[in-house]
Structure 1
């Protein structure tokens, strides 16, 4: 029998790191736990055991059934032999059983046998809980063993795979594009995260418009970006991370690989193994049917978990209509490198030349090379994004580029270098005019000036009056200062960005009147959050209690062992020191402790024995 006594002894012997790690995987009551016996009681409570059993897959549950029915501990080879004869686990490998035994041991549902760590047994409370499943409407132990898995599906035919690959490549390209636009928009203006975890509806609409997708796809793209480490929440705002900049400059296949890698790494081990086995077959309803068989005690939860991963896979082009693409199959079978190579063959070639048109639009005949697109987006506004994208140059976009550090000559040189149609005259005039207008409004620090912290200056009085009455700038509380000057109680940088967002030709100055380039800090910074570890605190408290007990620890441990054995009527082996110095083992079923003596029935001799507690040297669970 493997009882609470055995678990208490095991918990006491585990090192702190192993014990805390095991407790992290269990749900149990912490109230009233003052020693390792109380902790063992809590872990073997019916509710705690049920919570640990429900998420397990069928092979692990079947392993529990086999161990629970065995009269003695079994090795992995013996468990595998018994499982191989059952329809549910026919042909199971010893390695798979070994992994299951390690997992069950780590969950504190089973433990190695005394004296032979290669053999295992489950705790009696675990077997009892599993036996009660039929009354709870959950498959019984017999059903767990006898229900065979659903039949495997035929692989997707090669003729269908060609269409699947074409559609998957389109979706993959669209996904990369959507995440790119998402990060660009978050860099321009972050999105506030709601307390319940979602994003506010106005932000969803703004992001959807920037990404050119339906609103329901924004959370999908945000999830993909977060998993890839490209977006994170900082101070309640969704913002791009430091990694987003290098990702945005990478070729399209490399960007897709990062998203696909994050998807793969987020898969739980059981789901990854399942998808790898079905990498050539459809992942639709048949996969949900198999998941229902694999997790018989948590069907809906398991299906929802898998559905979340397969929906994202379809959006990323890993599958198309739930059929794995060539790249998707390579991803789960061989890894991201092979998948990216397969997908790269299907992506359209990138271009580094565009058409500059007289109406100030810029048309790319294909996906732009990242380094070209990044700089072009700093100069022009994106109007439409597809395989052939359209940008528009305007006075505001050129002014924005000049504010960011570009020069008029640099803009002309860049546009000429990527143009297939030369530099149209209207475009040249626009750049010249914007450069002449740039800097007509200047913002500097103004400390000590009637409480003002910044000053806005311009030689154009009409422009200055327009700024003062602009309702979009009302929050700056601009007031008239000296000649050609407005004052604000807000810092220079705040005033500068407000004027820039309102599309005024503004520059920032330092105290000496020199132009300075300001950059918005719209990057999420990693912050270590203090997380309370209640399991570690509990283990530390139990260890401290034992240390404070000092020399009494051994006596208290013995007393608790005997008390637990008496209450549970569990057979135990008592080690008794004899007058001649020998230590004799007695297999007893204890009936009481009192007056310094232990009473119990000796099973071997079939007699009642009374033993002095002073002679008891140790107690261990009966084999």
Structure 2
């Protein structure tokens, strides 16, 4: 069967839909717009473009590439589809071969001359394993290699590690058959951990290199995808486990916001958070350091914390601090599902790897949280790829991380290093911490987050979260047990009067004198605290709690402080005299101005802290004498509106690619018109005046012309158009391909030819 005799001719014979599919897979070919098929073919054959296009090929496609390369290198005529299937019999089904050939043709990495399949030369260089590995039957299996590597002497292991990192082939005199048998290379050849190419060249087998680099192992000889072992859980169980993780996530994030609000963390000179600050945050919030690093990354990505100078200014001396933004206040008051949504979405679109915090960089320094070095350009793509492997499974299906890594490495063997166990394990661990994965399976909310708008994911999580309860259990030991997530109002009240002692599915709070005093400081009365427990406790309120509330309330507020700079007053002159006689009076420079009033030049916050440290229990009041909440509000840092966002190029749309192909066809038609006999011999431009006259003539008689044009970017294009109007330095002409009227600047028109 006859066919195109060149790659360019084959490309030109592709349909518009096929060219659009090519540009979707290889968008670099369209920038700038190629002027002709010859230009497009030249770009498509360039090594850099071919290697980029091959990154998304699976192992089956590379098996076809390897077979074509071996067939061509032997000096044979390019094979037909039938011959290729015959050569791969036993390794791949006919349908697999057909699908791989179609994918390679869609990427223009192979082309057809009749029924013969021809390989673009640079495609063979993209093989993710040494040429011939797919047909090598001498390489031992994974278990044999792992056992052999475990007992290697240091010299032999160092040699293999070097080849695994720098390239599979090495040159050595010890590869000859008569080399001393006790040398490392002959020993490795004997163990089949190296392959002899010739007397001076050895090669590291693909499977050995994968194991040495910690990559998922896939056999180049196997052209069918691995079948992971699946464990099935109920969707309710998966969502229930994830809902518990979401509760912990939100509680810990709120704790970090509170910690940074009370004491913003000084930023490192490079911009991140130092190890000491992460330890302080983790210790104060009651979480592990690794989790603290992940959560500050999430909060920063969601713009709930930011770097800048806080208001009010902190006491520490630093140029910049990490602290909460004003958005954190509304976030803290939102329902759980609405608080979860921005955190989960920010993680999914985060171009950083939080799990790298604490790892060592090239200079052996630990990587800091929020540091620039954690940015990884492919993080978003690979994170979605890992979760996408779970999303392909039926709901509730759990896949082991090693199986996911093997599957992804088979699908994209040139990117197998990105699917090392460390990457996949940590990605799934972070996803579980955010409630996107439960029991190793993708949750309903995680599935919605990957494929649907954010409100759908929020609704899915809300359905999975347990219904809030409106009651607590007060114990005789002054603990309060919340048997589930509390309603928002009750949660705020309980958090005000008690401190969290242990959190989980059932949160335990501890009532104490300081916690009750905090509630009274906030404006609650003793009667309101009694009513709170009488109304919401399913157990009888213990008498010890009643006595404690009354005792704290009786002593609370007998001494009151206000603004003078600040003042202290009491209805009990003896109590105020006791204050004035104590050492704290000198510290605060207190001065009595009446039997019941004293003033100070110290700030009100300092006055409160010093009096309480001295054993007194003052309460704040406003100008009318009513008790007000004077607790310190956390510092806030305004988000910088002009902060530069990471640049992510948007892929072209289908409509844009259709237009590009149309422009390409127009340029090709114009180029063909200039080389044919339909152009008048005297139709070429000889001067500006002649070109203008020729265009005006064509507009009057409605004739088509071929023009050469240089656009604003300096790109030369050719078009066949029908002039409509010439004037004001512009040519308005009908594009014969698109049917649209276009404008061309006259001084940019480089040539004009009248067509017959």
Please report the TM-score for the alignment, with normalisation by the length of structure 2: 0.49
The aligned residue for residue 581 of structure 1 is 690
Distance in 1 (CA, whole Å) between partners of 2:330 and 2:688 is 79
Q: Report the Cα offset of residue 128 of structure 1.
A: 6.0
Q: Report the Cα offset of residue 254 of structure 1.
A: 4.6
Q: Report the Cα offset of residue 442 of structure 1.
A: 3.2
* Match of residue 636, structure 2, among 514, 519, 524: 524
2:282 maps to 1:208:
yes
Contact 1:352 1:418 in 2 (8 A): yes
Q: Deviations over 1:581-604 (max 9, x none)?
A: 3689999xxxxxxxxxxxxxxxxx
Q: CA RMSD in A?
A: 5.1
The aligned residue for residue 284 of structure 1 is 401
Distance in 1 (CA, whole Å) between partners of 2:685 and 2:484 is 87
Distance in 1 (CA, whole Å) between partners of 2:325 and 2:558 is 34
* Match of residue 364, structure 1, among 456, 459, 482: 482
* Match of residue 113, structure 1, among 8, 25, 34: 34
The aligned residue for residue 390 of structure 1 is 508
The aligned residue for residue 28 of structure 2 is 104
The aligned residue for residue 49 of structure 1 is none
* Match of residue 482, structure 1, among 577, 592, 615: 592
Give the direction of change, closer, same or farther, for the CA distance of 1:501–1:234 in structure 2 (3 Å limit).
farther
Q: Secondary structure at the match of 2:293?
A: helix
2:750 maps to 1:618:
yes
Give the direction of change, closer, same or farther, for the CA distance of 1:166–1:482 in structure 2 (3 Å limit).
closer
Distance in 2 (CA, whole Å) between partners of 1:273 and 1:509 is 58
Contact 2:228 2:407 in 1 (8 A): no
Give the direction of change, closer, same or farther, for the CA distance of 1:184–1:111 in structure 2 (3 Å limit).
same
Alignment of 1:161-176 (within 5 A): 165=239, 167-176=241-250
Q: Deviations over 1:184-204 (max 9, x none)?
A: 444554444444444455554
Structure 2 residues not aligned, in runs of 5+: 1-5, 53-61, 63-121, 130-219, 310-319, 352-379, 648-683, 695-704, 709-746
Contact 1:444 1:492 in 2 (8 A): yes
2:551 maps to 1:433:
yes
Distance in 2 (CA, whole Å) between partners of 1:276 and 1:504 is 60
Give the direction of change, closer, same or farther, for the CA distance of 1:488–1:368 in structure 2 (3 Å limit).
same
Distance in 2 (CA, whole Å) between partners of 1:99 and 1:502 is 73
Distance in 2 (CA, whole Å) between partners of 1:341 and 1:327 is 8
Contact 2:50 2:123 in 1 (8 A): yes
Alignment of 1:498-517 (within 5 A): 504-509=616-621, 516-517=628-629
Give the direction of change, closer, same or farther, for the CA distance of 1:171–1:616 in structure 2 (3 Å limit).
closer
* Match of residue 262, structure 1, among 346, 356, 371: 346
Q: Report the Cα offset of residue 111 of structure 1.
A: 2.0
Alignment of 1:211-250 (within 5 A): 211-235=285-309, 236-250=320-334
Count of residues paired in the alignment: 453
Q: Report the Cα offset of residue 367 of structure 1.
A: 2.7
Distance in 2 (CA, whole Å) between partners of 1:349 and 1:191 is 36
Distance in 1 (CA, whole Å) between partners of 2:687 and 2:382 is 54
Q: Secondary structure at the match of 2:524?
A: coil
Distance in 2 (CA, whole Å) between partners of 1:74 and 1:490 is 84
Structure 1 residues not aligned, in runs of 5+: 1-67, 82-93, 134-138, 447-452, 536-574, 588-614
The aligned residue for residue 181 of structure 1 is 255
Distance in 2 (CA, whole Å) between partners of 1:374 and 1:480 is 36
Alignment of 1:372-411 (within 5 A): 372-411=490-529
The aligned residue for residue 468 of structure 1 is 584
Give the direction of change, closer, same or farther, for the CA distance of 1:419–1:580 in structure 2 (3 Å limit).
closer
Give the direction of change, closer, same or farther, for the CA distance of 1:379–1:461 in structure 2 (3 Å limit).
same
Q: Secondary structure at the match of 2:40?
A: strand
Give the direction of change, closer, same or farther, for the CA distance of 1:579–1:516 in structure 2 (3 Å limit).
closer
The aligned residue for residue 142 of structure 1 is 124
The aligned residue for residue 354 of structure 2 is none
Give the direction of change, closer, same or farther, for the CA distance of 1:246–1:529 in structure 2 (3 Å limit).
closer
Q: Report the Cα offset of residue 501 of structure 1.
A: 8.3
Q: Secondary structure at the match of 1:121?
A: helix
Q: Report the Cα offset of residue 218 of structure 1.
A: 0.9
Contact 1:150 1:289 in 2 (8 A): no
Distance in 2 (CA, whole Å) between partners of 1:438 and 1:424 is 21
Q: Report the Cα offset of residue 325 of structure 1.
A: 3.5
Q: Report the Cα offset of residue 380 of structure 1.
A: 1.5
Larger radius of gyration: 2
Give the direction of change, closer, same or farther, for the CA distance of 1:177–1:454 in structure 2 (3 Å limit).
closer
Distance in 2 (CA, whole Å) between partners of 1:524 and 1:76 is 60
Contact 2:401 2:424 in 1 (8 A): no
Q: Report the Cα offset of residue 318 of structure 1.
A: 1.4
Give the direction of change, closer, same or farther, for the CA distance of 1:454–1:213 in structure 2 (3 Å limit).
same
The aligned residue for residue 216 of structure 2 is none
Please report the TM-score for the alignment, with normalisation by the length of structure 1: 0.58
Q: Report the Cα offset of residue 416 of structure 1.
A: 1.6
Q: Deviations over 1:424-463 (max 9, x none)?
A: 33222222222232234433334xxxxxx43445634434
Q: Report the Cα offset of residue 238 of structure 1.
A: 4.1
